[in-house]
Structure 1
Amino acid sequence: MLSAARLDSILSALPRLTIGLVGDLFLDRYLELQPVGETSIETGLVAHQVTRIRNFPGALGTVMNNLSALGVGLMLPTTVIGDDGHGFDLLREVRRLPVDPQNIICDPQRLTPTYTKPMQPVGDKVQELNRFDVRTRAPLSDNVQDLLCQRIEHTWQSSDGLIVLDQVNELGCGVVTDRVRDFLHELSKRNPQKLIYSDSRQRLRDFSFGVLKGNRAEIAGAVGIDPAADLSAFHTAAAQFAAKTKQPVFCTIGELGTLVATVDGKSTIVPAPQVTGPIDICGAGDSATSGIVTALLTGASPVEAAEFGNLIASITIQQLGTTGTATPAQIRDRWRSIQ
């Protein structure tokens, strides 16, 4: 178990950290609707009535929200968004966090990635209706990639470590292009001791450097196994990744916790705290990431880092209808409750 002394040492060090982030930054927009809509005179269709709009940084922003709640001193996001209304709203929310936004590139040729989520009351519950997705389904231009690599190098020099989030499935259409990934690899060669932690939905197998993290489906897709395969297959897959990168590998496996593979060929499952009642797993992997990275940067072992990430995820999944976060006080309370 994560000791009280180690937990305190991690939490007390967080305000001194500067963490760089590279990847896909989205706007999560929640539209709260009235229970009953009105009928449009023009179309005869139901016109949903929005009573409140809630905006949050999503994707890379979900990690940032979690790092902010933990009390991390400064974040340096490096990304590309659009020069549009969604981008304006996104930057307004980002600036509420302990963030230096100078390396966020606003490209007028692109749309700001946005998930719009209508939320309709149904009895005493809230139902999410069909989501509206906005983003540019085309590769980044060469000029923007040039600028992006320059900004990444600046972030690399100014931070204690990097989190890389490859969210977009279409090849070349997100921030983490082949060229950006190759550039990150070159940075890792310059300083192999500095943390680069990468989480990729579709291309985890293309990362041959740094600390890797995936969930069960992402690890399975990367090595070509059934996501429902026996856990022994995931022990083998994670160990193979660790042997390739010479760094720890983390595989989140839902309520079971996190599988950790290390460079010595060993792997273990770090159990998650058990929770009761309704849960919402949206953003659970990103909250685990925030815990794993901050713990590693403060000197924790991979197993301790996985325990810290599990603690945070066990708190965030109990926050319904939003992508949750966890504060140091909540983490201490959860840790005490499982002793």
Structure 2
Amino acid sequence: MTAERILAAFPRLSALVVGDICLDRWCTYDPAETDLSRETGIPRIGVVSTQITPGAGGTVANNLAALGAGRVAVLGVTGDDGFGFELGRALRSRGIEPDLLITTADVQTFTYTKIINGKSGVEDRPRLDFINTQPLAPDVERAMIERLNANAGEFDVIFVSDQAETSAGGAVTEGVRQWLAQWRTAYPDKIVWVDSRMRADRFRKAIVKPNLQEAEECCRRLFSRVDFEALRRHIDTDLLFVTHGERGVLVVEPGSESWVETRPVENPVDICGAGDSFSAGAGLALAATRLPVAAARMGNLVASVTIMKKGTGTASPDEVLAAEKRLQV
């Protein structure tokens, strides 16, 4: 099936992104303004401009909206702080519904701040991350599950973004994982698409998309060997997508594996967010076609566009069609 036919179906689809909805801040500084602080003697970084974009699950949502999905909403947890306000505004400006976000003073908004040298254009200072190291409070977890119960049925696809790199995790708690497994059992035709940086093996019933490193780490932790079919059975899913960067994607189904090759892109600008853009394209395509290989091919095309953009870029339908023609995949 051609990309054009698949893309034409996207406006009829609705998607909910659940989990770690973050804020990305790109702060550009002027090296000429790096003076010593009078109070401490420590060199200051003189930021002259700041750009903000939704990050983590917000990047998935941003890509879904750019691809033309008919409705995109997010469900997660933000702090009662300025970064949370900025995140809500950034989501609305991209046509993404932020109304299901839970705001609480118990957490701070999950935020990545990247410091860019205005002269070289290079990120050359330590990244400043605002993270949460405590588990989600029980009342906030209950609110997450209540909002899932009340709203999940309205959407064709649920994307789960489990990106917190702390041992406590983020918005995707064990209770949320259990709810997702039960819901998928009750509604097997609904698509639940999971991207989990550290905990892919803890999900059940859902379609899971680890990258190669994440999948191998799960396998070694569980079986002391790399066995993607065993990982698929452990998750109890019909589909496992293992992305291999610029080489392609391995699609693991019961009794079979399919290799979906892509063509390497020369001189990629920024691979940050490539996995999120793959998920957006592949998840929507799977909802539109129910064809795993066609879905993987669409995900590859979307990612091939976004890696040519600085930061967590997106791909429009026209850019995807141009990539299909250029790469001939």
**Alignment TM class, shorter chain as reference:** over 0.9
**Equivalent residue for 2:244, pick from 227, 243, 253:** 253
* Structure 2 counterpart of 1:331, one-letter code: V
* Structure 2 counterpart of 1:93, one-letter code: A
The answer to whether residue 299 in structure 2 is matched with residue 309 in structure 1 is yes
- Give the aligned partner of residue 231 of structure 2: 241
Runs of 4+ displaced beyond 6 Å: none
The answer to whether residue 253 in structure 2 is matched with residue 262 in structure 1 is yes
- Give the aligned partner of residue 228 of structure 1: none
> Aligned partners of 2:315 and 2:96: how far apart in 1?
18
- Give the aligned partner of residue 64 of structure 1: 61
> Aligned partners of 1:128 and 1:89: how far apart in 2?
24
SS at match of 1:305: helix
The answer to whether residue 205 in structure 2 is matched with residue 209 in structure 1 is yes
How far 1:85 moved relative to its partner?
A: 0.7
Q: Structure 2 length normalisation: TM-score?
A: 0.94
The answer to whether residue 282 in structure 2 is matched with residue 292 in structure 1 is yes
- Give the aligned partner of residue 320 of structure 2: 331
> Aligned partners of 2:199 and 2:41: how far apart in 1?
45
How far 1:65 moved relative to its partner?
A: 1.1
Contact 2:133 2:167 in 1 (8 A): no
Contact 2:72 2:95 in 1 (8 A): yes
The RMSD of aligned alpha carbons is 1.7
| Within-5 A mapping of 1:1-339 | 3=1, 6-36=2-32, 37-123=34-120, 125-224=121-220, 236-237=227-228, 239-244=229-234, 245-263=236-254, 265-320=255-310, 322-339=311-328
> Aligned partners of 1:331 and 1:201: how far apart in 2?
26
Percent identity reads 35
How far 1:74 moved relative to its partner?
A: 1.0
How far 1:117 moved relative to its partner?
A: 0.8
Mind listing any 5+ residue stretches in structure 1 that lack a counterpart? 226-232
Mind listing any 5+ residue stretches in structure 2 that lack a counterpart? none
SS at match of 2:54: strand
Contact 1:57 1:94 in 2 (8 A): yes
* Structure 1 counterpart of 2:240, one-letter code: V
Q: Structure 1 length normalisation: TM-score?
A: 0.91
Question: What does the per-residue CA deviation read over 1:266-310, in whole Å, with 9 as the maximum and x for residues that have no partner?
Answer: 112211122112432111100100111010010141011101000
Contact 1:171 1:177 in 2 (8 A): no
> Aligned partners of 1:46 and 1:52: how far apart in 2?
18
How far 1:96 moved relative to its partner?
A: 1.1
Question: What does the per-residue CA deviation read over 1:19-58, in whole Å, with 9 as the maximum and x for residues that have no partner?
Answer: 0111101111111111322222222222111111101110
Question: What does the per-residue CA deviation read over 1:295-327, in whole Å, with 9 as the maximum and x for residues that have no partner?
Answer: 00101410111010001111111113x111111
How far 1:122 moved relative to its partner?
A: 4.5
SS at match of 2:118: strand
Residues 128 and 153 of structure 1: CA distance in aligned 2, closer, same or farther (over 3 Å) = farther
Contact 1:249 1:262 in 2 (8 A): yes
> Aligned partners of 2:42 and 2:165: how far apart in 1?
34
How many residues align? The count is 324
